Amino acid sequence: MGNKSIFAHHRIKDSKTFFLWNLWIFLIIASFGACENDKLVPPEKIDLADTIATPEGYKLIWNDEFENEGLPDSSKWIFEHGPNWYNNELQYYTNRRSENCRVRSGNLIIEAIPEIYDNRNYTSARINSVEGWRYGFFEISARLPRGVALWPAIWLYPDEDSYGGWPKSGEIDIMENWSWAPEQIYGTIHTEAYNHIQGTQIGKHIQLVEPWNNFYRYQLEWQPGILNCFVDDSLFFSFENEGTVQTWPFDHFFHFILNVAVEQYAPGNESSWVKRTMEVDYVRVFQKE
């Protein structure tokens, strides 16, 4: 009689059942055929660099998207800490203290808090990138704090004092903001010839709409002959190489500093002070291809 199909042993009671049974058999056979003839390929892994808007002529070389909850990635960031800082600032920068610095919901949080800490009345955080760079395009998406006596900043500082201590080796302020002008964003450079101690610093500002409610992209293009500061691709400050180390020490490696300072001399009623937060969505570094 020959070999019977294994399915012939099942009794089919009605046409509806017969139809469903055959549909099930068809799907099984089809699935085997698909596996044999059209092998399933895992979805292609997405390269994060492909999802990031890259300036023309540049490539992404370093970034932090702040995707892992907890303290900032210690392979990328280190804490500067202590009570004694320049400009008569009032804060104590704490070391790896999550109340002042943490990653939450995809953002880096730096929080200044009014509290007694090691004989200071305020705490905050200041973190430096482990890595440094010479030249490139730097972009940071951030939402700023708003409140009395606050001084948030995103800036680049020399890895080494190649030409001497501050300001001889330079400083590049990509974003500075003060509580007395909350909608003004400043880009500034400091050198031996141009610095705020002498009142000769060089910089400009741009007016933004509620940077404490809105994320903006703070950007720096740094090349051997020029520094350009942008907000959301709008150029607002340029400084050209004047050919001397006293005016242009920007030919060696610099690292990021992200911080929120508390000013002593800022106007306002400090009794109304509450904790304030700077949120950073990402930090990205691009260099010429």
Active site residues: 171, 176
Q: How far is CA 50 from CA 47, 61, 288, in A?
A: 5, 12, 16
> Residue 128: left (phi > 0), alpha (psi -120 to 50), or beta?
beta
The rounded distance, in Å, linking the Cα atoms of 143 and 163 is 34
The rounded distance, in Å, linking the Cα atoms of 176 and 234 is 16
**Strands of 126-133's sheet in order across:** 77-80, 126-133, 254-262, 150-158, 171-176, 184-190, 202-207
Look at residue 230 and give its three-state secondary structure. Answer: strand
The rounded distance, in Å, linking the Cα atoms of 82 and 68 is 26
Q: C-alpha dihedral over 101, 91, 263, 111, to 10 degrees?
A: 20
Q: How far is CA 16 from CA 6, 19, 20, 21, 22, in A?
A: 20, 5, 6, 9, 10
- Residue 42 tokens, joined: 């895992």
The rounded distance, in Å, linking the Cα atoms of 142 and 69 is 18
- Residue 187 tokens, joined: 């880009």
